[in-house]
Amino acid sequence: MSELFKYDDDREAESAAKVRALEALLIEKGVIGSESVDTVLSHFERVAGPFNGARIVAHAWVDPAFKQRLLADTPKAIAELNLPPGMSGAEGEHMAAVANGDGVHNLIICTLCSCYPWPVLGLPPYWYKDPVFRARGVREPRAVLREFGVAIADDTEVKVWDSSAQIRWFVVPERPAGTDNLTEEELVALVTPEAMMGVALVASPTPSSTTS
């Protein structure tokens, strides 16, 4: 993770404490019930999250025809997969995928706020909402990527995609080397939310992770 967007443990602990306090207050005032909180948490554990995006990416890696359909009409292609219902619900109404490769690297930002494809990536990380990241991602994407540990070759084009309420982008990263012998399920485990945002590459598996 880039040092520029890394928040220390104290700040994370403070934010978590504020969330717990707000939750307790809302329950105490009768605004929400504990069941409502459990329902929301369950939704992001079972229905909407990066596990969906990882399955989509892994299937695109092993099925080139599906990948082409995914890039042409993302919601229609996703509907082919046996994913949890509600993929076109909140924050997923207008999802679109772009693919890295052939001299192109894609970076996803939201210049206005924090629009994000929740069904395939889960909740956006804190730094994604940061005005500094949003502004610099447009002005100097290569510098931002370097700070995330992603060095882009000079002859590789960096495309920046601006998510909005009208369209929410995610990236199909390149399949890493050394994965020809992996099953689709094993490939799923390699895909990270950061790779599907374009701020990371999918790492090749270590030898120990490819042997039983």
**Best CA proximity match to 86, nearest among 44, 127, 58, 56:** 44
Q: Contact, 171 vs 202, CB < 8 A?
A: no
Question: What would the mean pLDDT of 192-200 be, rounded to a whole number?
Answer: 97
Percent of the chain past pLDDT 70, that is, above it, reads 70
pLDDT of residue 37: 45
pLDDT of residue 87: 61
88 part of the active site: no
pLDDT of residue 86: 57
15 part of the active site: no
Q: Contact, 97 vs 198, CB < 8 A?
A: no
Q: 53-77: per-residue pLDDT in tens? A: 999 999 999 999 999 999 999 999 9
pLDDT of residue 118: 86
Flag whether 110 is marked binding.
yes
Q: Contact, 117 vs 170, CB < 8 A?
A: yes
CA torsion angle 26 27 31 37 (round to 10): 90
pLDDT band at 19 (very low <50, low <70, confident <90, very high): very low
pLDDT band at 82 (very low <50, low <70, confident <90, very high): confident
Flag whether 113 is marked binding.
yes
Flag whether 36 is marked binding.
no
Instruction: Tell me the C-alpha to C-alpha distance, in Å, between residue 88 and each of 109, 124, 128, 212.
Output: 20, 17, 22, 37
Flag whether 115 is marked binding.
yes
Higher-confidence position of 75 and 6: 75
pLDDT of residue 23: 47
Which of 33-42, 69-78, 203-212 shows the highest mean pLDDT? 69-78
Q: What is the DSSP letter of 4?
A: G
Mean pLDDT of the chain: 81
User: Which residue is listed with tokens 């998510």?
Assistant: 163
Question: What would the mean pLDDT of 105-112 be, rounded to a whole number?
Answer: 96
Q: 111-168: per-residue pLDDT in tens? A: 998 898 888 998 888 899 899 999 999 999 999 999 999 999 999 999 999 999 889 9
34 part of the active site: no
- Rounded Cα distance between 209 and 212, Å, is 8
Question: What would the mean pLDDT of 43-56 be, rounded to a whole number?
Answer: 74
- Rounded Cα distance between 158 and 156, Å, is 6
Q: What is the pTM of this model?
A: 0.78
Catalytic one among 113, 163, 209, 212? 113
With 70 as the cut, is the pLDDT of residue 176 above it? yes
